[in-house]
Amino acid sequence: MEEKQQFELWRDDVHPAIVSKVDELHLLGYDRATEDEVWACVLHRLRKEKNFVAKHVFVHAILALSPQQYMTWLTAEAYKQPEDWFQEFEV
């Protein structure tokens, strides 16, 4: 029987690591990085794991997230958005 991942239950526990990663991204010039985006990016990467992910592995994944991985994920998510980019400019 497979164990179910506990990612959502761990959000409060790993919050300091998320804040640290957001601060790091801000220091590197990625001023628009948010806690929710970092959380979603790490979840996207770890949900592919077939084995149970322990909490310490989850924290390591947050702290090891590179700016390149984050920006690649952001770009892919932007392409998933609706294609009507100019909707707000229609008269």
pLDDT computed for residue 42 by the predictor: 96
Query: Residue 88: is its pLDDT beyond 70?
Result: no
Task: Give CA separation, 76 vs 2, 39, 42, 79, 86, in Å.
Answer: 30, 16, 14, 5, 19
pLDDT computed for residue 2 by the predictor: 47
**pLDDT by residue (tens digit) across 50-86?**
888 899 999 999 999 999 999 999 999 988 877 666 6
What is the rounded distance in angstroms from the CA atom of residue 24 to the CA atom of residue 66?
Answer: 10
